[in-house]
Structure 1
Amino acid sequence: MRPLPPGLVAFSVLALAGCGSGPDKTPVAVRSYDPEAMTRSAMAEFDKNVNGSIDGPELDACPGLKVLAANPDVAPDGKLTADRLKVRFETYRSAGVVGFPVRVTLDGAPLADAALVFTPEVFMGGVTDAATGRTGPDGTATDFSVGGRELPGLPPGVYRVSVTRDGVAVPERYNAKTVLGCEVSGGGRGGNSGLDLKLETKEKLKAKDKGKDKK
């Protein structure tokens, strides 16, 4: 989906300021992105072999960057260099709130009423707070709370994602020890339009592991 232009976001703020009821859709105040500082920090944290790119096993340490490295418009060879990261981070400045529907399934079935947490990576420099959301009956979330405000999307950035559900044993690989991540950016070339999280129960994960052992 296309990002909400900053001008449109500002108009929404004024329109909502005069409303006496309904959810507060005012976008969270996002401090200026600093692409150069973000790039330096990301490279220092994740380029462990100091070869000038974040790639291979290094990407496992940052699920959101792993998603970004799989984007052929950003990293055709699967490697995130400083130049590529800086160019990508520059695009965050032109987007306000990005429409970003998140679909969650567990063993193929929609996971309703799941609690979602999007934690920005440290290298983002604290430009935005963590975002939270909850899936509806169809397992999809489209509105998120950031800094106490309800938004129809997410601020651009690289996030770790956590999924929990009361009464359901969601494996810790999706929350406490999450392997989930995403990169939220505006539309256009290399942009993205949402996240499809296909989770599996411990039983199904164990069955898959046994299947691999037999091969």
Structure 2
Amino acid sequence: MAAPRVSLGALKEPLGLNRGLQWFFSIFAFATCGAFEGSVTFRVTCAGLENGSVSAAFAYPFRLNQAVFQPSLTHLCNHTWPRDVHLVGDFSSAARFFVGVAVAAFLYSLGALGGYLGYLHLYRCAGSRLPLADLVASGLVAALWLVASSAWAQGLGHVRAAVAAPLPHCPSPTVDCVHAGVTPMGSLGASVAFGFLNLLLWAGGCWFIYKETPLHRPAPPPDPAPSPM
């Protein structure tokens, strides 16, 4: 294996700078989604008397149908509820796909940046197929960002609707269930924004990689044969 020639010069070029931005913003994408924890609260009133508050905690990967209201509603309003009550909906597929793409993008951009810093001479040598492989892989990641960000944007809309809905199975009018609040989900909205920002970075970065390939920079013509004496 060829010895590396470590140089920070790649960071001063669009090729390396864009990879650094991809690595940096992929962290924000999976951190703002994967680290979220929140809860939704309702005030429950029985026969005109306030009985108490119940809350259901939810977090990534947003399997809301597993979030149980505590304290148990079976203990309130003279056992009006025969069993525990959950939130409604399972949106884990979109959330996990989004975080998975963000982690994959983080690892690939970090590896590619390390390759640029140590092996740019091999990347740009005549006949190298590394730029073409890099272009194909980057185009695939850009497409995954498009699909994952769109899916998670739709999933987040469903999460917001689910936690803003009335308390499931509230037997009104004998029992009054009032929505008392939900944890702000601004960080989840930011995760969608970071997803589409990463899409732009990866799609735009394909141009800089394309310029390194033989498709844009054909091999130089052979030296002309020396004229006979």
TMscore range, shorter length? under 0.3
Relative contact order: is structure 1 or structure 2 higher (C-alpha 8 Å, sep ≥ 6)?
Answer: 2
Larger radius of gyration: 2
TM-score when scaled to structure 1? 0.20
TM-score when scaled to structure 2? 0.19
More helix by share: 2
